[in-house]
Amino acid sequence: MFTGKQGKYYWLEQVNLCLADVLKVCPEFVEGKYLVITSFDSGPLRLIDEEFKRGWLQHDDLAINPLVESVNDIPYDEYDEWYIFLKAPLLEEFKVFVNYSLFSLRDPEYLMIETEPTWDLVGRKDQAERVKDLQELFWLQVELKDPETYISTGDRFTLATQKRDLYEKIIEAYGRGGNGV
């Protein structure tokens, strides 16, 4: 597990962690809150009649639950990306990050450290620069939209939250194998 802090957000990443695991330990990440799903299985979630009847809304490519009653009411798969708010955000476009396989909140220099001597060093440097650019866009979007929590699951599970107590609960439940806060 890799962890860190950026501004008012505590973040973590782990490869073998999924939404179901996290929601089992911390349903309070979403219950009673406003959920915006920007990606569902690598694309937009298209709501069905049953979801509309339960109060879900569709706005362009965003699926929105204005008040999550239970984690059991949230569809999820792989390559999902969620923004969780205490109140309705401005419904502007969201850049989706989960579908970029290199996207990580870790220092992009890890790409150079984890490079084998036979690998293309110039290519790895380019990848590190792309990760850095994505991180800048991500943190700018998070700062502007101000979600309480961001969760995505793709090539790795990523969490960024203002809720330190819930962040620590996840670390306690699933261990710390990387650098700590």
Per-residue pLDDT at 181 exceeds 60 = no
Q: Point out the least confidently predicted range of 19-23, 127-131, 159-163.
A: 127-131
pLDDT score, position 126: 85
| pTM for the predicted model, two decimal places | 0.90
Instruction: Report pLDDT for 90.
Output: 84
Residue 11, strand partner residues: 4, 160
Quote the pLDDT of residue 165: 96
Please check the confidence at residue 110 and state whether its pLDDT lies above 70.
no
pLDDT in tens, 19-63: 999 999 999 999 999 999 999 999 999 999 999 999 999 999 999
